[in-house]
Amino acid sequence: MASYLRVMRKLHVLLVDHDLDCLISTTKKLELCSYKVTYVELASTALSLLSSGQPHFDLVMVNINSPDMQGYKLLQHAVNVDIPVIVMSIDDNAFLAMGALKKGALLFIKKPVTMDMLKCLWQHVVRDKMRIQKENDRIMGMAATNNHSKSGVEFRGEVEEENNIIVGNNNYKGKKKKRARKSLINGVDEECESEPQLINNKVKRKECIQWTQLLHRKFMDAVEQLGEGRCFPKEILELMDVPGLTRMQVSSHLQKFRNDNWRAPEERKSKQNNAPAASTDTNTSGQSKPRRFGSMPCLKKRRETHEDSEVHTENDEMPNDGYESITIEPIIMNSNQQYHEQLVSGPNNSRHGANSSSNPRFPYDDFFNFPENIDCLFHNFSGMQQGFGIGMNMNESSDPEQNSPLPSVKTRSQWSSETSNFASNSSETRGLEIE
């Protein structure tokens, strides 16, 4: 028992309850259990205490019905800074409890709080700390421990749990479970850059990258180099050679691009501020172009559209191989800040600006530190005029898109079916170059 007390004494609890009687009595009980207690009436007060970072708290206990309506905000903040939160309420309400747990609460307890409950609190805190430590270890040692963890020893419990699910449901074919299991076993996701982080057993949605004009240009360059019929996410990703960028992200962008659903940040901004910008959904006659499922927008058209919206420089007149040296950095957006803190003024203003602190860095941000001069990224560009010959239709066509000297981006199946007549001599459908 003495050893328990030693642990309990070390725990600093921030108690938040607008019900003064409860506040006082719970404080007394906590102190009787040897916890160090700081108590405040309002969640907003607690929030500013937590925000200041001083003093450090090991546990927050909050009456979620705080009259200043900041109870959930406090919960969210504490969860974000990895402080376990115990939510209290006078109501015995399952929805309330579920809501709190979904937001990351460690426990939901109905008031009044008893001594027995409080005596056990330290165990929850310790367990939570261990979980966080484990997560951190896993992230830090991801690469190093990859081989070890494949043995399944490190996450045995979870693996067994997953195995039980699989054994119990042999018909399950979904990839969500498979991926989750794989990440538990390996400690990494399918692509380590896109590892979903588990926060309080919730899969935290990965921070968004922003496809800036410059990043998109790299994408386009890759597409152009690959040519028609070879524009697959993996190939594009490899050609782009952007550290930290994942195949899924490329795939997602490719989808948006193919469906003509992507607009450069600059274009979005101008569209918001001004009259409707020239939409790529309309043809020259101003008619809305019916969306052909799987149809690919013409690259030339896209290039023109996007370059029109670019901030032009004195190098605008330069030929293709005259791209100025630029630094491309994907802008990482916190999902909450997404679309609200668009760093549309370009990468140089993004995370290096005075307000960079308002845009927390994505854990893998360092992957995105590019060399100042990335001329090398365009090393193939000067030879691209010839490269464009790959897979393009040089003949005039009744379809305006077909008149582009640039290849269009087609799906594998689309391209495959279109070229099947020509490719009858070859069983290979992927990577086939059309002369």
How many angstroms separate the CA atoms of 130 and 113, rounded? Answer: 25
Query: If binding is defined by CB under 7 A, does position 249 make contact with DNA?
Result: yes
Q: Which is nearer to DNA, 108 or 257 (CB)?
A: 257
176 binds DNA (CB under 7 A): yes
- Phi, psi dihedral angles at 248 (to 5 degrees): -65, -35
**Residue 163 engages DNA in binding (rule: CB under 7 A):** no
Q: CB neighbours (10 Å) of residue 275?
A: 7
234 near DNA, judged by CB under 7 A: yes
Least distance to DNA from the beta carbon of 56, Å? 30
Q: Show contacts with DNA in window 268-287 (CB under 7 A).
A: 268
* Residues 322 to 341 in contact with DNA, rule: CB under 7 A: 335, 338-339
What secondary structure letter does DSSP report for 155? Answer: T
Is-contact 46 62, C-beta < 8 A? Answer: yes
Half-sphere exposure of 401 (CA within 13 A, CB side): 17
Q: Indicate which single residue of 116, 153, 170, 205 sits in contact with DNA (rule: CB under 7 A).
A: 205
Per-residue contact flags (x/-) with DNA for residues 370 to 409, judged by CB under 7 A: ----------------------------------------
**How far apart are the C-alpha atoms of 221 and 236, rounded to whole Å?**
9
Query: Taking CB under 7 A as the rule, does residue 108 contact DNA?
Result: no
CB of 147 to DNA, least distance (A): 15
Does position 56 bind DNA by CB under 7 A?
no
CB proximity list for 213: less than 8 A, separation 6 or greater:
264, 265, 266, 306, 309, 310, 346
Binding flag, residue 175, DNA (CB under 7 A): yes
Cα R_g (the chain), whole angstroms: 28
Binder among 138, 253, 302, 306 for DNA (CB under 7 A) = 253
From 52-60, 251-259, 353-361, 371-379, give the range in contact with DNA by CB under 7 A.
251-259
**Closer residue to DNA (CB): 194 or 403:** 194
Which span sits near DNA by CB under 7 A: 35-43, 137-145, 170-178, 390-398? 170-178
Q: What angle do CA 21, 27, 31 make, to 5 degrees?
A: 150
Its sign, for the CA torsion 228, 232, 234, 236, is: positive
The answer to whether 121 and 59 have CB atoms below 8 angstroms apart is yes
Report how far residue 388's alpha carbon sits from residue 394's, in angstroms, rounded to the nearest whole number: 10
Q: Tell me, rounded to whole angstroms, the distance of Cα 45 from its chain centroid.
A: 31
* Among 155, 219, 232, 388, contact with DNA (rule: CB under 7 A): 232
Whose tokens are 């600093």? That residue is 12
In the block, which residue shows the tokens 């538990």? 184
Nearer to DNA, 8 or 250 (CB): 250
| Least spacing, CB of residue 428 vs DNA, in Å | 13
List Cβ neighbours of 20 (8 Å cut-off, separation of 6 or more): 41
- Smallest distance from DNA to CB 166, Å: 11
The minimum distance between CB 226 and DNA, in angstroms, equals 10
Q: Which residues bind DNA (CB under 7 A)?
A: 173-176, 179, 190, 194, 196, 203, 205-211, 232-235, 247-249, 251-256, 258, 261-263, 265, 268, 293-294, 335, 338-339, 411-414
